[in-house]
Every structure is written in C-alpha cells, then in structure tokens.
Chains A and B, each alone.
Chain A
Amino acid sequence: MKSRLLTVALGILTAIGGFLDAGDLVTNAVVGSRFGLSLAWVVLVGVVGICVFAHMSGKVAAVSGRATFEVIRERLGPTTAGLNLAASLAVTVLTLVAEVGGIALALQLASSVDHRLWVPVAALAVWLVLWRVKFNLMENVTGLLGLTLVGFAVAVFLLGPDWGDLAAQLVPQVPVQESAAVYWYFAVALFGAAMTPYEVFFFSSGGVEDGWTVKDLASSRLNVMVGFPLGGLLSVSIAACAAIVLLPAGIQVDSMSQLTLPIAEAGGTLLVAVVIVGLVAATFGAALETALSTGYTLSQYLGWSWGKFRRPARAPRFHLAMILALVVAVGVLMTNVDPIAVTEYSVVFSAVALPLTYLPILVVANDPEYMGEHVNGRFMNVLGTVYLFILVVAALAAIPLMIVTEAGG
C-alpha cells in the first residue's frame, strides 16, 4: 500500500517547480532582503490561486482523462492555443535553462570545477532520469529530498527573531528606501511565479501518468492542499531568513550562494548541508518538471503519444522534444548568460500564457460533457473567476512595470 506521504509527492514536486525553482529561490531571498515580509501576502494570494486551478486541472484529468493542453487546444482552437503554446514553451524553456544552470552552479560549489563544464553533465543527468526512471520513483525521490528545504523554516526559529517585529512586517507596505513601482514589480513577479502555467501542465499530465480516475479525486485534492501551501510556506521562509539576517546588514542578494548565509548563522554547517541537498533537489526537480512540461505541451497540442508510463519507443516525438529542449538549454548556457537573469524575461511570456491557460480550464471544469456530475461548484467558480480577473490585471501590469523598473533593478 502506498503511504500517505508518497501519494502527495506529485503535488510537492509540482509546487517545488512553481515556488522553489532556481529563479524563485533567488527572487524570494532578494524580496526578503529588500522588502522584509511586506510581500508575503502576495505568496498567500498566489497559493490560493494555484490551488484553485491545479485542483480544477487535476479534476478534469482524473474524470475525463484529458490533460490540460489537450483541453486548451480543444477549447481555444489551433490559432489561439498555438499562441499559448509558443508563450508557454518560452516560459518553460527559460526556466529549464535556469535550472540546468542552477544544478551546474551547485556542482561548482561542491567541486570548485568551473560551472560551464558541469552544464552538459547536469543536462545529461536530467535526461537520464527522463529516459529511464519511472514517474512515481522520480516524483517521490525529488519531492522527498526537496522537503529538506524545510531547513529554511527551521532556520527562522533558530535565528530567534523578534516575532512582534517580524509580524509587523507582514503588513503590505512599500519600504521607505524602495519605490512603489519596484514593490509592485516584485508583487507581480511573485504572483506570476506562484501561478506559472507549467505547474498545471505538469500536475494534470502527472495525474494521467499516475493513472488517476474518478476514484482518485480525493488524492488529487490532497496533493493540491498539501503541495502548494507547503511550497508557499517555504518560499516565505526563505524571504523571512533574508529579512532577519540580510535586510538589517544591508546585504543585497544576487546569487544562489547567498541563500545559505542566514542558514549558516542559524544552524551551522549541518543545516547548511541539509539545505544544500534541498536546493539541489529542488533545482533538479524543477528541471525535470519543466523538461517534461515541454514534452507534454507540445505532444498534447499536436496529438502525439506522450508519457513516461510508456517506454520511449512508444512516445518517440515526446522524448525527442525533451532532448531538444535540453540541447537548447545547454546551448544557451554555453553563451555565458546569467541563467537566473534570463528567467526575469519569462514575465513577458507569462502575460500571454496565464489567461489563455486558466480560462479554458475554468470553462471545461464547468462542462458536463467532460465532467458529468463533477462540474465545479459555485464556490470554485467564484474563486476561479476572481483569479482570472487578477491574472489579466497582473498580466497587463507586468510588462510596463518591468520596463519602468528595469526588471526590479
């Protein structure tokens, strides 16, 4: 019998890819070191939003067997869905570039060998898992190892902050040294990261990989209710560590290695070691999630055979798409661009992809031909509609904010 913990591995891995990928890890620390916890409310808003839509996408997958991008193509038609495909692939591949680069940087920290030499090794390791490892083993191992990021939450307690002071920071307000535009730029970036579209592609396709049927609706709900709040909590913990240690010291975060500074202060080398395992697992998990999402979206749009539950020869174009995505990632990293900086531009593509992804999910979750008796209730519809509205506003605001603030600089 599967243990309770393993049944929620899909939700945890999905949330890691959304909240704790290499770009978000740094963004969270940047936010904490500059804004304290005054943006934590955005993470809460984002967690609720991704829970609503991941729940719907998982429900559609379990009841009808159709994964999210099949639904997008069917409801939006080839042109609009094709636009969404292009934007979503851009977001996903940019994130994959950052993750492969992130793994290489972590290996550099451990070995002091230049990270560019580690890039092909990292990509090969990701590919080997995609090629040979069963889906449930993959989600269980990366999900469980990623949980060691709980070290950030532990560190918050070990640092023994002034809790009243920390709680006072939770009030949404623009710090005196920052401009309102920069504050809102980071708010939109955090919200977009929480609701990034590849999470629902991965979650719904993962439900199909795990063979979900109507009987697994409770399991889908449990995955959502555990995974995303946990991802959000860890993301706020990272910001809190930075707010306690780096903000008063005036240290500006610009790389992944600075993430461990508060950890070292709180728990010494042991906790740093635990957290580094978590950072590598989260980055690796996010690399797997984004590489798979590339294959899922392309295959589902074009009707190809897909899935890790099939041997590669039974889903050849799906595997070829993932290989090409990894080759592109290695190629981009070889040009020596900053992989983390690259993800900032995914905001532009998210602005297109987010509404075009979540609208069809909301519509199909109300369609009795797909859902039978499991159509959305009123509560889910109200939440879904409110979030769709917020998404459109955030999408419209994202690009001007990015230009005005020079990506938060």
Chain B
Amino acid sequence: MRRTRTGPRDVSREPEPRQPGRVLDARLHLLDRQVLDVDGMPVCTLDDLELEAVDGRSAVDERIDGSVPVVITDLLTGPVLGTRVFGGRPPASRWHRLPWAHVVDIGTAVRLSVRSGDLDATWLERWTRDHIIGRIPGGNHDPESSG
C-alpha cells in the first residue's frame, strides 16, 4: 500500500448537497446482486455496469472524463466476471448486456421487465436445458409429491 510515513492526508470535507433523485452506490446497491426477470426467475448476477457519455460518445472512440455527463446504459454479465476476479478485459463483443431501460426496480434484487428466456445472457441456460437436462426423462415435469 502506498502510504507516507505520516499517514494519508485527510482532506477537509464539505457537506454533500441533497440530490434530486434516488442515490445508489455501485458496489453497495448494484454490483453482485441477483437479477430477476418479470416472473421472478433468476437471470444472472449483476457482474458489471456499462457507462457511456450522455451525448452518445463511447469510451472506445474518445476518452471520457468529468467534462461530459455519464450514465449507466447497460447491466453486464457473463465473462466480465472474470475480469473483476482476475483482472484483464474480455472483448466487448462477449459482454452480455441488459439495457438499463428494462430495469423495473432495485432492491435486494434487481428486477427486469422482460422474460429470462428472451435474453442473450441466458443462452447457456437454454443450451443446457435443450441438450442435457431436457433430454433426461422427467426433466420437463414438476417434481412428484408422492412416489
């Protein structure tokens, strides 16, 4: 840890003005929460957030800094998890995006307005169902309460 002998300098802090909307901290309220679909089916865990400038500039073309307002455009899941654990960065083409416009509610879980089955993020779930689990007898039936 980089630290001077006298310890870190504490900057003087001013009171934060009241904000005009709901305040969310990424790590405390968004990242690593369970994402549920419109029926309450688990979709994925929220692994990362994609941020872009409001005027449409994307981070790939131009450097973004404090001079332009930035918003969350998508929730990300899938291989981006590896980057949070091990570092590095997967190509943007392999991110699974869930648009912010589909987010209905943020509580102890993040709820979407769409069905899990319609999302790219759950392709592996469908693949497993279609090629393995769905082919085993009984896989498409509710569990029995007798027998």
Contact = CB atoms under 8 A, between A and B. Distances in A.
Contacts of A78: 32, 47, 81, 84-85
B59 interface: no
B129 interface: yes
A65 B144 CA distance: 24
B146 A313 contact: no
B76 interface: no
Interface stretch (A216-224, A232-240, A302-310, A399-407): A302-310
A352 B42 CA distance: 28
DSSP class of A's interface residues: helix, strand, loop or mixed?
helix
Interface in A63-84: 64-66, 70, 73-74, 77-79, 81-82
Interface in A262-311: 299-306, 308-309, 311
B136 A312 contact: yes
A303 B144 contact: no
A113 interface: no
B63 interface: no
Interface stretch (B7-15, B33-41, B50-58, B64-72): B33-41
A319 B140 CA distance: 12
B140 A311 contact: yes
Contacts of B116: 305
A369 B108 CA distance: 7
A301 B136 contact: no
A312 B129 CA distance: 8
A300 B107 CA distance: 17
Given A132-B138, A311-B143, A312-B138, A317 B128 contact: yes
B141 A311 contact: yes
B124 interface: yes
Contacts of A389: none
B118 interface: no
B16 interface: no
Contacts of A319: 133, 139
A73 B133 contact: no
A305 B27 contact: no
A301 B129 CA distance: 20
Contacts of A77: 27, 31-32, 84
Nearest to B132: A320
A397 interface: no
A137 interface: yes
Nearest to A137: B145
Contact of B139 (A79, A305, A313): A313
B129 A313 contact: yes
Interface in B74-89: 77, 81, 84-85
B44 interface: yes
A212 B110 CA distance: 20
B85 A306 contact: no
A78 B85 CA distance: 6
Contacts of B143: 131-135, 308-309, 311
A313 B140 contact: yes
A131 B143 CA distance: 7
B108 A316 contact: no
A370 interface: yes
Contact of B144 (A66, A74, A132, A302): A132
B134 interface: yes
Contact of A65 (B43, B108, B134): B108
Contacts of B77: 303
Given A306-B42, A309-B143, 7 more contacts: A64-B108, A66-B109, A74-B33, A78-B32, A78-B85, A132-B144, A320-B132
Interface of A: 64-66, 70, 73-74, 77-79, 81-82, 131-137, 299-306, 308-309, 311-314, 316-317, 319-320, 369-370
17 contacts: A70-B34, A137-B146, A299-B42, A300-B34, A302-B45, A302-B81, A303-B42, A305-B125, A308-B143, A309-B143, A311-B142, A319-B133, A319-B139, A320-B128, A320-B132, A320-B133, A370-B108
